[in-house]
Amino acid sequence: MKVSFDLHMHSCLSPCGGEDNTPANLAAMCALAGLQAVALTDHNTTGNCTAFQRAARRNGLLAVPGMELTTREDVHVVCLLPDLEAASRFDAYVRSRLPDIPNDPDNFGDQLLMDDESGILGRETAFLAGAADIGIYEVSALVDTYGGVAFPAHIDRPAFSLLGNLGLWDPDMGFSLAEITSHCPPSLRQRPDLREAPMIVNCDAHYLDQIPDAHQYMDLPRLTVQEVLQWLRRGCQ
């Protein structure tokens, strides 16, 4: 079956996410856009994934629990997990590797924990915009121990990206694919180190109007989180 997808977006728990980006609003907007498989990937946390999964189910969507991890090198990596229990354990580990400083909402933005009907449950006080003490060469194997899949985010951007910060794609990092933006120059795919690297496009939406209509598809035997993760492990095959 052909499944439309987008596997990188943020809720109001991310300090840079719009306050309208509640899990409920995100799920409704994804359904309106014609998406079928989606992932919530807030910065260094999975705290709103439970609410998003419930809201997604109401809207007929498959929700993959996720996180956009910031590595020690300030590289953003999308980490997708098989279920909420694994996501919670991964969240706890990442939390233990974050700097022990509080968030400053006035400078970095609020971090809202939500229920699945846009009710505020609380505010995350930890500084989620920082880098975790986890190296880029560790991430793929680490996420695999939780049953998940990781891939570097928006590698064509100049900041917070694998190429922007480190300048290379190294197969020894263990990633089976990479993410690019919709504005990626065609020449990037011709780099010798990237010619064999499978790529997908995700929206990285921080605001509701950044969620695009369905435009890319994965071919799955069944619409399940495990099948989505297997498709990614196979390099989008």
Q: What does the pLDDT read at residue 61?
A: 98
- Res. 116: pLDDT tops 90: yes
Q: Is 19 a residue whose pLDDT tops 90?
A: yes
Q: pLDDT tens digits for 70-111? A: 999 999 999 999 999 999 999 999 999 999 999 999 888 999
pLDDT tens digits for range 164-177: 999 999 999 999 99
- Average of pLDDT values for 187-206? 93
- Average pLDDT of the chain to the nearest whole number: 96
Mean pLDDT of 155-160: 97
pLDDT of residue 57: 98
User: Does residue 69 have a pLDDT over 90?
Assistant: yes
CB 138 within 8 A of CB 196: no
Mean pLDDT of 31-47: 98
Strands 2-6 and 217-219: antiparallel
pLDDT of residue 65 exceeding 90, the answer is: yes
Which pLDDT score is estimated for 189?
86
β-strands 178-180, 199-201: how paired? parallel
3-state secondary structure 166-218: HCCCCHHHCCCCEEECCCCCHHHHHCCCCCCCCEEECCCECCHHHCCCCCCEE
Inform me whether the pLDDT recorded for 184 exceeds 90. yes
Q: pTM, whole model, 2 decimals?
A: 0.97
Say if residue 226's pLDDT is above 90. Answer: yes
Q: What is the pLDDT of residue 133?
A: 98
Closest CA to 63 of 91, 103, 44, 35: 35
pLDDT digits (tens, 9 = 90+) for 133-149: 999 999 999 999 999 99
Kindly tell me if the per-residue pLDDT of 195 is higher than 90.
no
User: Percent of the chain having pLDDT more than 90?
Assistant: 97
Query: Of 3.10.20.30, 3.40.50.720, 2.40.40.20, 3.20.20.140, which CATH number belongs to 2-233?
Result: 3.20.20.140
